[in-house]
């Protein structure tokens, strides 16, 4: 599993929106400047987030984006699954058991299933609010 730029940037956008939430909409230009990400690239990321109702967008003067819910209701897993489609460590898990003809005899399949579960549980147990808090312990080296 390798998280793409789109997934990493989506997390940064969501954190930025949460940290700068004052009740008003935040423009893509502001986010792009703070995060040093191309505004054009942010458009596609925010479009995905908006379609999934993770953010609310408003066009026109005074428009921009803001979170649809409180930061503690978003998990890293939900954001990454939206942008990455799959966090599976191997392709046979993306297709499910029916996607691989050797699944019943594969000696490594149970290991991959366990790893997939660990990855999922790890990301589903970290909220956007935790990423915002420096005292969360997430920034410390293991």
CA distance 116 to 122: 10
pLDDT at site 90: 84
CA distance 135 to 132: 9
**5, containing H or E segment:** helix 5-19
| Cα Rg of the chain, angstroms | 18
Q: What is the pLDDT of residues 52-101, one digit of tens each?
A: 999 999 998 888 999 999 999 999 999 999 999 888 888 888 766 566 77
CA distance 129 to 133: 7
CA distance 61 to 51: 21
Phi-psi map region of 83: left, alpha, beta (phi>0 left; psi -120 to 50 alpha): alpha
Residue 139 has pLDDT above 60, yes or no: no
pLDDT at site 71: 96
In three-state secondary structure terms, 2 is coil
Asked whether 59 and 52 are in contact (CB, 8 A), the reply is: no
């Amino acid at each position: 599993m390798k998280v793409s730029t789109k997934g990493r940037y989506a997390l940064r956008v969501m954190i930025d929106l949460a940290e700068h939430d004052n009740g008003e909409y935040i423009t893509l230009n502001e986010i792009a400047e703070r995060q040093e990400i191309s505004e054009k690239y942010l458009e596609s990321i925010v479009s995905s987030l908006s379609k999934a109702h993770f953010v609310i967008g408003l066009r026109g003067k005074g428009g921009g984006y803001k979170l649809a819910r409180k930061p503690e209701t978003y998990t890293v897993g939900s954001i990454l699954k939206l942008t990455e489609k799959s966090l599976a460590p191997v392709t046979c898990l993306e297709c499910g058991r029916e996607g691989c003809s050797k699944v019943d005899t594969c000696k490594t399949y149970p290991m991959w299933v366990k790893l997939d579960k660990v990855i999922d549980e790890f990301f589903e147990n970290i909220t956007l609010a935790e990423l915002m808090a420096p005292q969360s312990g997430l920034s410390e080296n293991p």
